[in-house]
Amino acid sequence: MSTSPHHDYPQSSAAGNIKVAFFLNLSFTLLEIVGGLWTNSMAILSDALHDFGDSITLGLSWYLAKISQKPSDEQFSYGYQRFSLLGALISSLILICGSVLILFNAIPRLLSPEPVQVEGMLLLALLGVLVNGAAVLRLRSGKTQNERVVMLHLLEDVLGWIAVLLVSLVMLFVNLPILDPLLSVLITLYLLVNVFKILRETAQIFLQAKPNQIETQELKARLTESLPIYSIHDLHLWTMDGEYHVLTCHVVIEDNLPASEMMAIKQQLRELLKQNGIQHSTIEIEYYQTQESTA
């Protein structure tokens, strides 16, 4: 049995990206709380509460992303990859709780709208688009599940502020205070749809489902066509964090091959697996005659 020797985890940039997003989000949240009270805007106050939860989540995600860079040890033989994934799970749950709270406060205002300070809304909306947009740009190339959830938080904020900007422009000319709570409800529902999708993907990874982008039967066919092997069986494929994939399998080869050729087949298999997005592989070699006699 042979195991690929290196664990090259794509987490080092993730921690730095989340760190920048954390400080941007926390700074703007404090400004947003003051601005929401000043303008009496439910949409802004709801987003301020939401952003405060996001700041906690971002801090936790940054901390867990740093832990996920640690190499494997006796306790975690595959390394600390899933600490980053744990951040994605906790972030999703916090986001759902915050969304429920926003709906609880926004829906009554649909029945009884209150006046808002439109000019203040417009100013805060412009700042919101700029600050949150900068954070999204920083995270848009992130590939880990943790970064995806964090970017979803911030992308929701950008879309929300664009909507607030448009609504405030309308309200400069038309007195429609119901647009403020209506906007809050629509943004929150949009967010919930997306966060449940991420939560489902995260749960699948924890349950060790195979990566969605890799088809097992196609992978087997590609390997058997490319190398002098009879078949592949007892194949198991899972992912550590949505980006770093792991595979174990038994490979049947021709009888009485020299050890040098057997090792060459193993090495070629590892290279092909890496080309197909699988970073860690454990391969057990079986001879054809031995495999037939035990079948």
What is the predicted pLDDT for the residue at 2? Answer: 38
The kind and range of the H/E element at 162 are helix 145-171
What is the predicted pLDDT for the residue at 258? Answer: 84
What is the predicted pLDDT for the residue at 9? Answer: 42
Query: Do strands 280-287 and 2-3 pair parallel, antiparallel, or not at all (unpaired)?
Result: antiparallel
Which of 128, 127, 114, 106 lies closest to 187, judged by CA? 106
Q: At what angle do helices 12-39 and 118-139 cross, to 10 degrees?
A: 180
Q: How many CB atoms lie within 10 A of CB 230?
A: 15
The kind and range of the H/E element at 266 are helix 259-275
Residue 65 near residue 11 (C-beta atoms within 8 A) = yes
- Segment 103-111 mean pLDDT: 83
Written as six digits, the tokens of 68 are: 């996920």
Has residue 10 got a pLDDT over 50?
A: no
What is the rounded CA–CA span in Å between residue 197 and residue 127? Answer: 29
Written as six digits, the tokens of 273 are: 């697996």
Written as six digits, the tokens of 29 are: 């949240």
pLDDT band at 11 (very low <50, low <70, confident <90, very high): very low
- Percentage, residues of the chain above pLDDT 90: 7
What is the predicted pLDDT for the residue at 7? Answer: 43
What is the predicted pLDDT for the residue at 236? Answer: 92
**What top-level class would CATH report for the domain 216-294?**
alpha beta
List every span in the chain annotated with CATH 3.30.70.1350: 216-294
Pick the CATH number of 2-206 from 1.20.59.20, 3.40.718.10, 2.60.40.420, 1.20.1510.10: 1.20.1510.10
- Segment 258-276 mean pLDDT: 89
What is the predicted pLDDT for the residue at 141? Answer: 63
Residue 214 near residue 277 (C-beta atoms within 8 A) = yes
Written as six digits, the tokens of 7 are: 């664990």
Which of 197, 212, 216 lies closest to 243, judged by CA? 212
Higher confidence at residue 10 or residue 250? Answer: 250
pLDDT band at 5 (very low <50, low <70, confident <90, very high): very low
Q: How many CB atoms lie within 10 A of CB 189?
A: 12
List every span in the chain annotated with CATH 1.20.1510.10: 2-206
pLDDT band at 8 (very low <50, low <70, confident <90, very high): very low
Across the chain, mean pLDDT equals 79
Has residue 250 got a pLDDT over 90?
A: yes
What is the rounded CA–CA span in Å between residue 284 and residue 41? Answer: 63
What is the rounded CA–CA span in Å between residue 158 and residue 288? Answer: 59
pLDDT tens by residue, 51-70: 776 777 677 767 776 777 77
pLDDT band at 132 (very low <50, low <70, confident <90, very high): confident
